[in-house]
Amino acid sequence: MPRAADTPFVVDRGSSVPLFRQLYERTRAAIATGRLRPGDRLPSARSLAAQLGAARGTVDAAYATLAGEGWIIGRGAAGTVVAPQLGGSPRPPAALAAPRQPARSALGAEAAPRPFRMGLPALDAFPRKLWARLVAREARALAIGGLSHPDPAGDRGLRDAIAAYLAISRGVSCTPGQVFVTGGYQGALSLVARTLLAPGAEVWFEDPGYHLARRALVAAGARLVPVSVDDDGICVEEAIRRAPQACLAVVTPSHQSPLGVALSLPRRLALLAWAEAHSAWVIEDDYDGEFHYAGRPLPALKSLDRADVVLYAGSFSKVLFPGLRLGYLVVPERLAERFSAAHLLGGELGRFEQAVVARFMADGHFARHLKRMRGLYRSRRAALATALAAAFGDRLGLDRQAGGMHLLARPAGNTPDTELVRLAERHGLAPAPLSAHAIEADLGPGLLLSFTNIPEAQAEAAAQALLGAIGRRLAPPPRWR
């Protein structure tokens, strides 16, 4: 039976520190010093708000931030408790030395992502025990041969497993010899740049598009041609008008990043026909094609590629975890030798984690994990969308696409999204501004809200926290105008 907590829940109304912040910091300090212990129950947000004479949203915001950082967890009707997994011993005072930093793990990374943080799979749902077992097994099996230089193109077992998975799951047929293991998508882009791009080469790039890919290509000397995106994906006709002689198009056909739309079949065919006619290449960034909630995942663009012009890039960042820094690139057969030579220069990956991923895939854990994550994301996404709609009404429009790992929210009014993000960050939240993904496009304000790390039980608190943070900067509902 959880013990009722002594109250650290007092606030100083004369202070310039917002009430939400005071409550958050005092509760966190109470947990860190052991005054509140793992399993202790916290007062309900409603009763604490009444006790303090504060708005319910103030307490919700403090609880959401604490939950987002892993200090407390919501248990539905059973209330909110100090996270049992914090263990029996109080945190050392060092955890308090940097009061605005989230809790840290042994490796120095954030213990739990802040609510809405983009780019992360559900870290709480990763099968860490199983992973640890496979790591230990690989370590025990390490033979003398495993100590020498690895194959720069990647671990053979992993390349086999990737080729088998792509054939079954994404409709992509390739040999293991066409698969190059890379340091994530970033590594794949740098390999493509080294192999195919002359300095100043023109590259079609979605606008808005994935900002880290944009930076990597610009750093590699490419000249980006921004191309608009509409409900059918990248506007291929516009791209052909603007830069018919470009040598490469970089696209996210399954779920456009960040708008979430799928590239329509006519556009897919037009893109492939252009590349074939102009001896150009296409990079398909299939970073989250597995996470599609309405119907089956769309087949990859590569599965339509009769002329062999598509380089297919996959990443383990979203389907396993980004700390791995592993991804892969499948190149057309006729480019395999050139890529081998280029990879020989840059092959910088260690063998060990590749072997663990290979085992994870070959033993069927990967397919099971993906299936579980699809179900989890479907329900987390629905819970967050419902909670946001209840909290904001029509002051926050939601673009609900058929897949992806985030919601795109359209705040009512003219406050720039960067300003809204700054306010949210002050409340311990981590949405991203849509405008940061634009090159020339004028998209209006938008917030990218990842749902992957917001358990259903915390969706309402997260939505209330966001409302508390940005509500005053949104246009009022129509009946107040």
Strand 396-399 relative to strand 327-330, pairing:
unpaired
Which residues fall within 8 angstroms of residue 153, CB to CB, at 6 or more apart? 159, 179, 180, 181, 339, 340, 343, 347
The answer to whether the beta carbons of residues 358 and 203 sit under 8 Å apart is no
* Residue whose CB is less far from ligand PLP, 35 or 126: 126
Interface with ligand PLP, residue 210, by CB under 6 A: yes
Query: What residue number has its CB nearest to ligand PLP?
Result: 184
Q: Which of 63, 180, 185, 366 binds ligand PLP (CB under 6 A)?
A: 185
* Residue whose CB is less far from ligand PLP, 43 or 253: 253
Supply φ then ψ for residue 104, to 5 degrees. -115, 145
- Edge-to-edge strands, sheet with 41-42: 41-42, 80-82, 72-74
Stretch that binds ligand PLP, among 14-22, 98-106, 183-191, 233-241 (CB under 6 A): 183-191
Within 68-87, the residues that bind ligand PLP by CB under 6 A are: none
The alpha-helical segments, DSSP class H, found in 142-289 are: 156-169, 184-196, 211-219, 236-242, 265-277
CB of 319 to ligand PLP, least distance (A): 10
Both structure tokens of 28: 């966190």
Interface with ligand PLP, residue 127, by CB under 6 A: no
* Residue whose CB is less far from ligand PLP, 150 or 327: 327
Interface with ligand PLP, residue 347, by CB under 6 A: no
Please name every residue paired with 81 in a beta bridge, in sequence order, or none if there are none: 41, 73
CB of 315 to ligand PLP, least distance (A): 3
Q: Which of 70, 119, 208, 226 binds ligand PLP (CB under 6 A)?
A: 119
User: Maximum CA pair distance of the chain?
Assistant: 74
Interface with ligand PLP, residue 233, by CB under 6 A: no
Both structure tokens of 50: 């009444």
Q: Which amino acid is at 335?
A: L
Interface with ligand PLP, residue 284, by CB under 6 A: no
Interface with ligand PLP, residue 184, by CB under 6 A: yes
Both structure tokens of 262: 């799928």
* Residue whose CB is less far from ligand PLP, 184 or 332: 184
* Residue whose CB is less far from ligand PLP, 27 or 317: 317
Burial 167-202 (b: 16+ CB within 10 A, else e): eebbebebebebbbbbbbbbbbbbbbbbbbbeeebb
The closest alpha carbon to 205, from 144, 303, 282, 110, belongs to 282
* Residue whose CB is less far from ligand PLP, 61 or 271: 271
* Residue whose CB is less far from ligand PLP, 27 or 315: 315
Count residues binding ligand PLP (CB under 6 A): 13
Within 356-375, the residues that bind ligand PLP by CB under 6 A are: none
Interface with ligand PLP, residue 315, by CB under 6 A: yes
Stretch that binds ligand PLP, among 31-39, 179-187, 218-226, 273-281 (CB under 6 A): 179-187
C-beta neighbour count of 329 within 10 angstroms: 25
* Residue whose CB is less far from ligand PLP, 226 or 327: 327
Q: Which of 20, 71, 287, 339 binds ligand PLP (CB under 6 A)?
A: 287
Stretch that binds ligand PLP, among 16-24, 180-188, 294-302, 415-423 (CB under 6 A): 180-188
d(CA 336, CA 340) in angstroms, rounded, equals: 6
Supply φ then ψ for residue 399, to 5 degrees. -85, 110
The closest alpha carbon to 240, from 274, 206, 285, 267, belongs to 274
* Residue whose CB is less far from ligand PLP, 86 or 432: 432
Interacting residues toward ligand PLP by CB under 6 A:
119, 184-186, 210, 252, 257, 285, 287, 315, 317, 322, 327
